[in-house]
Amino acid sequence: MNEMDARVKNRLLVCLAALVLVGLCVGDAFWDRELPEPPAPSLQGTPPPAGSVSAQVPAPPAEGAGNPAPEPDPGASGPDVSVPGPSAEEPRIPSEPVESYARWLARQIAEELTTPGMTEYEKAKAGYDYLVQNVSKGEAVCPELWRIYQKDPDTPVSFLENRTVSVLRFDIGMCEDQAAALTLLLREMGLEAEYIPGFIFSIQGDAMDHAWMMAKVDGTWYHLDPDLESYRARRGRIIYQYFLKGDEEFYRTHRWGQNAIDAGYLGEEQNEELRQYLGHPCPEDHDPAAEPQRLKGRAEPEASKALLLAEKAQKQAEDEIAAYEAEHGALAPIRLNMEPPVFGWDGYGPEIW
C-alpha cells in the first residue's frame, strides 16, 4: 500500500467511524433533531445577519426541546420501490476501452433506470433510489481500476470520475463517493447536477466535513444527500428526508457555499477553494414531497459482512488489474484525483479516536 492509499484509507475510515459512533450513541433521534431555527440562508455572496447562527458552530437544542411530528410509517404510504441492482455474474465491464469508465458506468445505469416519457422528477428519484437501495458505506474500492478500461490509462481523471467508480461498479463508498456518483448519474439522465462539499454537525454541535449534491429539476435547484438518506434507510425504509430539499430545510443540518464561508470555520485558502463550490439557490422543497416507502431488497449488511463484501470487491479489482498488466505491462505510477476538495485528507471536525 503506497502513502496515498494509506491516507485514503485512514481518511475514509475516520468518516465511517464518525457516522457509526453517532448512530450507536443516539440512533434515529439524532437525525430527527433540528439545529436552532436559522435566519434565511446566505448564498451567492449575501452575508447573514450579524450574530446569526451561521457565524458560529450551532449548539444542539436542549433535550426534549421542540415537538417534531411523528415520523410517518414508511410501510403505510406509497408503493414499494424496486430499482435495478448490479449483477455479480455480469459485472459492468466495457467490451472495449472507453473515453471515461466512470461516465460509461453512469450511462449503463442511467439506461437501466430510465424509460421513455419519464419526468425530470422521476429521473432524479430513480437515481436517488438506486444509490440508497444498493450502496453501502465503506472505503472506496481500488481507486485506479478505471485505468484498465480507458483509452488513456495514464492521464488522471477528474475527482468526480475517480470517486464515482467504486459506487457504480461495486456499490461501496463514503459521502464523497456517493455525492460524486449521483452527480454523474443524474447528468447522464439529462439533469444538471453539481457536487457540494460542506458541513454537517455532530451530536455535540461540532461542524464536520461532508459532501452531497444539488440537482436542477423542472427549472429549480434542490439539495440531495444520498449518504445521510442511506443511513436513515436502515431496515429497508426510505423517508426522503434529504431528497429535493430547499435551502431553508437543509440549513437546519448542513452548511455549504457562502454560508459556510461566513461561518468562519476555514482559513482563507480553503475558503477560496470553497468558492468554486457555491452551488445554486434552492428556494424551496419540492412540492409534493416524495412519500415514505420501502425499498424492496434493501438490507444493510452487518459490519462483518460489509467488510467481507469490501474485501471481495477489492480482490476482484486487483485481479482485473493483474490480468491487464500481464497482457499490457505494468501501469505507470500516476497521482490519482481522490483528495476531497476544500477539506483534504485531514477533514474537519472533532477527533474520533
Q: What is the DSSP string of 293-334?
A: EEBTT--PPPHHHHHHHHHHHHHHHHHHHHHHHHHH-PPPP-
Domain count, the chain: 1
Residues 125-172 have pLDDT tens digits of: 999 999 999 999 999 999 999 999 999 999 999 999 999 999 999 999
Task: Tell me whether residue 55 is in a domain.
Answer: no
Which range has the top average pLDDT, 5-19, 75-89, 137-151? 137-151
State yes or no: pLDDT of 3 exceeds 80: no
Least confident of 179-188, 227-236, 277-286: 227-236
Q: Considering the chain, what percentage of its residues have pLDDT values greater than 90?
A: 64
Q: What is the C-alpha separation between 85 and 92, in angstroms, rounded?
A: 11
The parent domain of residue 252 ranges over 3-36+86-328
As a whole number of angstroms, the distance between CA 304 and CA 180 comes to 26
pLDDT of residue 11: 53
Residue in this structure with the C-alpha cell 426541546, named with its chain if needed:
65
d(CA 332, CA 132): 35
Specify if 307 maps to a domain: yes
pTM above 0.75, yes or no: yes
Q: What percent of the chain has pLDDT over 70?
A: 71
Q: Is position 27 within any domain?
A: yes
Give the cell for residue 286.
419540492
Q: Report which of residues 303 and 261 the model is more confident about.
A: 261
Q: What is the mean pLDDT of the chain?
A: 80
Residue with cell 457565524: 55
Q: Closest Cα to residue 109, out of 180, 169, 151, 161? A: 169
Q: Answer yes or no: is 139 within a domain.
A: yes
pLDDT for residue 313 is more than 70: yes
Sheet holding 192-201, edge to edge: 243-245, 220-224, 207-217, 192-201, 255-256
Q: How does pLDDT run across 189-213, given as a tens digit for each residue? A: 999 999 999 999 988 889 999 999 9
In a domain? residue 56: no
Distance CA 194, CA 187 (A): 9
In a domain, 333, yes or no: no
Residue located via cell numbers 424509460:
115
Q: How far apart (Å, rounded) are the C-alpha atoms in residues 234 and 24?
A: 13
- DSSP E strands in 184-310: the ranges are 192-201, 207-217, 220-224, 237-238, 243-245, 255-256, 293-294
Domain assignment present for residue 15? The answer is: yes
CB of 35 closer than 8 Å to CB of 61: yes
